[in-house]
Structure 1
Amino acid sequence: MTDLRVLIVDDDFHVGRLHAGYVDAVPGFTALPPVGSAEQALRAVHGQEPDLLLLDVYLPDALGLDLLRTVDVDAIMLTAAADAASVRKALRRGALGYLIKPFTAEQLSRRLRAYARFRRMLADQPSVDQDTVDRALHTLFPAEPAAPAARTRSATEAAVLDALPPGSQYSAAEVAQQVGISRATAQRYLSALADDGAVEIHLRYGSTGRPEHRYGRSGR
């Protein structure tokens, strides 16, 4: 399946680049080059046809909320605008989600994965029944899960988690070396721990190339 193409619209270049790294870290998603204004966003929408916008409210030439009602593209708001009026207006104008800055890579990842499930549930169907609509909407706006009961971890999974002392961040390769497993195996366990909320994913940028994924123990 072709990756879902995501356009980030944020007036801060560094924030847009950071969020693009978050997007690229989620399987099934590819970030287009971020843009920093409503005008650039309109050109990118028409020229590149993204599947999803990650849209800030405050742009230098317009409000993202005004841009939202002029484009026929799915959108999730990523913004520092935390007033209730902006939230209501965004949802009224069709936003599929609203994530207040600052947020973690894992918080955005959860919303992107939910959006992918939403798309799959409604894909290529000439008609849907009410149950499908209800399940699709529930997927987009899931209730925050209650804290899960402690489950028994395998010895390898426990060793991977133990390799991440509180306050530290390591790459999958570093964890693999500590535990004595392959990098691919470490990556698999780290991803599962991130899905459980036990581990958070962070990004560290170098001078060139894609950002390095770093893993740290969750504060929860």
Structure 2
Amino acid sequence: MADLRVLIVDDDFHVARLHATWVDAVPGFAALAPVGTAALALQAAHSLRPDLVLLDTYLPDTTGLELLRTIDTDAIMLTAASDPESVRTALRRGALGYLIKPFSADDLAAALRGYARYRRVLAGTGSLDQAGLDRARRALLGGADAPSSGGPSRSRSATETAVLEALAQGPGSARALLSAAEVAAVVGVSRATAQRYLAALAEDGAVEIQLRYGSTGRPEHRYGLSA
């Protein structure tokens, strides 16, 4: 599975670029070039087909709440609008989440991980039962679903165990840092599958993530066993 592509809509260029950096730091997500108006957001939504839009309320040509009426894309509000009416309107018009500015990189990362879990729950082709629907809704609010459910003491699935063993057997020591591609090669799964399990294990504290910066391009995520 390719990274989920995220379009950031915010009229403050510096804030938008900061949020793009935060998005790129979350495994499984990639930020598209931010836009600063509703008109550009509509154009980008139609041409680029992002998986998720992070949407500010205050835009120069219309409000983000009005834009919610016209974009057929999953959206999370990132806004300073904290009045109950704005929140109710956003949720009524389909926003999957609502973060009130100022918020931290961790707050945004938690919302994105919840969205990724929500997508995984709804990724199947069969019909959902009520338990599955409830699990998807909980994911958006910070609840968990397999493979990211439970705490450190829960039973591990076979794939999770294989991922942890791959990290423990990494070159150098049990604290070796491996990329998702390296873990995937050891375990025998796709890179996207390895990345999902690594992200899930990081959420419950079994795995830590570090960024390795090269001379150019996006930083590479490296994974290791937590201390």
SS at match of 2:72: coil
Indicate the residue corresponding to 2:91 in structure 1.
91
Indicate the residue corresponding to 2:107 in structure 1.
107
User: Structure 1, residues 102-159: CA drift from partner, whole Å, max 9, x if none?
Assistant: 111111001100100000100132321111001100111237xxxxxxx9xxxxxxxx
Q: Is the 8 A contact 1:7 1:52 kept in 2?
A: yes
Indicate the residue corresponding to 2:10 in structure 1.
10
TM-score normalised to the size of structure 1? 0.68
Q: Is the 8 A contact 1:21 1:211 kept in 2?
A: no
User: Structure 1, residues 162-204: CA drift from partner, whole Å, max 9, x if none?
Assistant: xxxxxxxxxxxxxxxxxxx76769xxxxx99x8579xxx9xxx
User: Structure 1, residues 38-64: CA drift from partner, whole Å, max 9, x if none?
Assistant: 000000001100000000000000000
Instruction: Read off the aligned partner of 2:20 and give its amino acid letter.
Output: A
TM-score normalised to the size of structure 2? 0.66
Q: Is the 8 A contact 2:77 2:97 kept in 1?
A: yes
CA distance in 2, matches of 1:212, 1:119: 24
Corresponding pairs, count: 178
Instruction: Read off the aligned partner of 1:27 and give its amino acid letter.
Output: P
SS at match of 2:135: helix
Cα distance change, pair 69–210 in 1 and its aligned pair in 2 (3 A): same
Gaps of 5+ in 1: 144-150, 152-180, 186-190, 202-207, 214-220
Indicate the residue corresponding to 2:118 in structure 1.
118
Cα distance change, pair 212–106 in 1 and its aligned pair in 2 (3 A): farther
Instruction: Read off the aligned partner of 1:137 and give its amino acid letter.
Output: R
CA distance in 2, matches of 1:58, 1:18: 17
CA distance in 2, matches of 1:183, 1:11: 38
RMSD of equivalent CA atoms: 3.7
